[in-house]
Amino acid sequence: MSLLLACAWAKAQGDAADADWRYRIQPGDTLITLTDAWLAPPKTWRDLQKLNRVPDPLRLMPGSTLRMPVAWLKREAGVAEAVFARGQVTRQRGSTSEALAVGATLQSGDRIRTGAQSSASLRFADGSRLLIPPESDVTLDQLLVLGRGAIPAVRIGVQQGGADSRVAPNAQRVPLYEVRTPHVNLGVRGTEFRVQTAAGASRMQVLSGAVHADGLGLDVATGQGLLAEGAARSVAPLLPAPDLSGLLPVTERLPLHLAWVGGPAGAATWRVQLYVSSDFDRLLLDDVVAEPAVTWPEARELADGDYTLRVRAIDARGQEGAAADASIRLLARPEPPFIQAPAPGAVSYAGGTAFAWTRNTVAPNVRLQIARDAGFKDLVLQPAPIDGANYDARLADGIYHWRIASVEANGRAGPFGDPQTFEIRPPPPVPPPAEPEVTGDQLKLRWRADPGVTRYQLEWSRTEAFDRVEGADVQRFATDKPELAMPKPSAGKYFLRARGFNAADAPSPWGQTQMIEVPYPRWLWLLPLLLIPVL
C-alpha cells in the first residue's frame, strides 16, 4: 500500500512539474531578460525560444503569452504566517517545540499540533489559508515560491485530525497546492475543501472547485466527498446543510447551550463550530454531537459579543456535509446574583415579602422585577437598581413571579436569572399556642440551574481572593441541585462562587464572585445598654 501511494504521489508531483506557467509579456521584455529573471540554470533563453517558436529573442509582442514550464522556474524557500492561534497549539522545528504565537513565521518542515478546543490558522504567500482544527497533527512538508515568487508551491501532511483549506485561485491551472494523508494524496488548483484523517481512513469534502485524488480517474467535484480506506476510493454526494431556523439569535445563559431543528435526512451526528463573527480563520469551539444541540461550558472563557455558529451534518460514512451558518450574540454578563429568599413557591401571610440575594462583585447593584405573569408583561413592581442585598415589598394577595439581574456601575444590566414564584395569602386564623420552633441555624442559597450540569461545587471564603492567597480560609461544598443549605456562619462579610461539572466530570470555569453579609445578633446591639449599670 505504501509503495502504491508513493508511486501515485510521484506521478502527481511529475504532473505539476510538467505543467506550464503562462507569462504575459510586458513592454521591454526580451527572452534574455525573462530568462535572467525567471529561469533556473541550466535553462537559457534559447530553450524558451525553441519551446515558444519565437523568431527574434529581442522582439516580443506585449500582451501575448509565453510558456514557461514550472520545472524550469527558479525556486526559493517560502514561508507561511500564523494569523490565529487559540489554546494549546505548538510548533515543532527540529527537536525544539514551542507555543505557536500569532504572527510567527513558519517554514518547510515545521509541525503544528493542536490540543482539545485549540486551533490555528495559517496564511501562505498567495493568500491561501489553512485552518487546523482541534486535536490535529499537521506538517508543512514543502513551502516554496517559484519564479520570483509568482507561484507558491505548498505541500501539507495531515497525520491526524483535520485541515480546512481555502486555496487562492490559480489562473495558470498549475496544481501546486497538495495535501498528503496516510491514505490518500490530493492536488488542487484553487478550491475550498476539508480533510479529516483517523485510524484506517481519510475523508475529504469539496466545497468549491475540484480536487484530484490519487487512484481516481476523475477529479472530485464541488458537493462531493471522497472516502479513502486502504487502496479503496469511493466518491458520494455530501449531505445538504442543516436547518438552523429554530436557533435563538441571542443567548443570555452560561454554559452556552444552542439547539436547532436538526436534519437533513441521513444525518447521524453533527459537527458544531463557533467562530469569531464572520471570521472563519478564528475557530473558538468545536464538537461533534449526537443530537441537534450543543452545550459548551468552555464558553465561560468567551467575552460577550457576536459570534458565528457553523453546523454540518455527518452521514453514516463519516462524511461532513454542507455547512449552515447563523449569527449568535452572547449577552450573559454580568451574571445574575444567587437567590437567598424567598424560597421557590414560598407563601407569605402578612402582605409583605422580604427578598434577599448575593451581590456580584463586578456589578453590585440589582435590578428587580415582580410580575403577575410568567412572561413579565404585567409588572407590578420594578424599582430603580438596588444598591444592596435585600428588598422588602408589600403587595396585594396573589401569586407573583420575580427575577433579578446584576447591574454594573455604568448602568448596564446583565441577563435575568431564573424566575421564581411566591404567593401572598390573607392572614390565617390565630392558631392555638404552640411550642416555638428554631429554624434560624441554617443559611440557604439557590442559583440558576444550568443545562448539561450534573453537580455543583461552591466555595465560601472570607476573602475575595479565595485560594489565591496563602492561608485563606476556604470551605467547599458540593450539591447535585442548584441550591445549598449550610450551617449559618458567624456574623461578617463572606464571598462565594460556584462552578458546574458535566456528566464526564469536567469542570467549568468558576462563575463570578458573589458577596453576602451575615448580620450580628440583635442582642449584641443591646450589650452596651446592659453594661451601663456596671460602668
Q: Is residue 189 within 8 Å of 212, Cβ to Cβ?
A: no
Give the Cβ contact number of residue 25 at 10 Å.
15
Please measure the distance between the N-terminal and C-terminal CA atoms of the chain and give it in whole angstroms.
Answer: 101
Q: Which residues pair with 251 in a beta bridge?
A: 330
Which superfamily is assigned to 250-330 in CATH? Answer: Immunoglobulins (2.60.40.10)
Least confident stretch, 36-40, 123-127, 472-476, 480-484 = 472-476
- Cα distance between residue 491 and residue 265, in whole Å: 61
pTM: 0.75
Give the Cβ contact number of residue 96 at 10 Å.
7
Query: What band does 452 get if pLDDT is binned at 50, 70 and 90?
Result: confident
Rounded average pLDDT over 65-75:
86
- pLDDT at position 393: 93
- pLDDT at position 245: 87
- Cα distance between residue 247 and residue 13, in whole Å: 46
Print burial letters for 458-486: b (CB count within 10 Å at least 16), e (below 16).
bbbbeeeebeeeeeeeeeeeeeeebebee
Query: What band does 231 get if pLDDT is binned at 50, 70 and 90?
Result: confident
Q: What is the pLDDT of residues 297-346, one digit of tens each?
A: 999 999 999 999 999 999 999 999 999 999 999 999 999 999 999 999 99
Average pLDDT of every residue of the chain: 86
Query: What band does 450 get if pLDDT is binned at 50, 70 and 90?
Result: confident
Rg (CA), the chain: 33
Q: Which residues pair with 531 in a beta bridge?
A: none
Q: In 319-389, where do the E strands start and end? A: 320-330, 339-341, 346-348, 352-357, 359-360, 365-371, 379-381
| 3-state SS class at 495 | strand
Rounded average pLDDT over 208-227:
92
Record the cell numbers describing residue 421, joined without a space. 414564584
Query: What band does 355 get if pLDDT is binned at 50, 70 and 90?
Result: very high
Q: What is the pLDDT of residues 417-444, one digit of tens each?
A: 999 999 998 765 443 343 333 357 788 8
Record the cell numbers describing residue 461, joined without a space. 471564603
Rounded average pLDDT over 228-239:
94
Q: Where in the chain is the domain with CATH 2.60.40.10?
A: 250-330, 339-424, 442-518
- pLDDT at position 149: 65
- Cα distance between residue 204 and residue 202, in whole Å: 7
The DSSP 8-state label assigned to residue 413 in this structure reads B
Judged against a pLDDT cut of 70, whether residue 520 lies above it is answered with no
- pLDDT at position 469: 59
Nearest to 407 by CA among 355, 345, 356, 364: 364
Least confident stretch, 34-38, 372-376, 408-412, 491-495 = 491-495
Length of the chain counted residue by residue: 535
* Non-local CB neighbours of 55 within 8 Å, separated by 6+ positions: none
Which fold is adopted by the domain 339-424?
Answer: Immunoglobulin-like (2.60.40)
* Non-local CB neighbours of 162 within 8 Å, separated by 6+ positions: 132, 133, 136, 194, 195, 196, 197
The DSSP 8-state label assigned to residue 336 in this structure reads P
Q: Residue 458's Cα: distance from chain center in Å?
A: 26
Least confident stretch, 182-196, 230-244, 460-474 = 460-474
CATH of domain 442-518: 2.60.40.10
Q: Is residue 439 within 8 Å of 368, Cβ to Cβ?
A: no
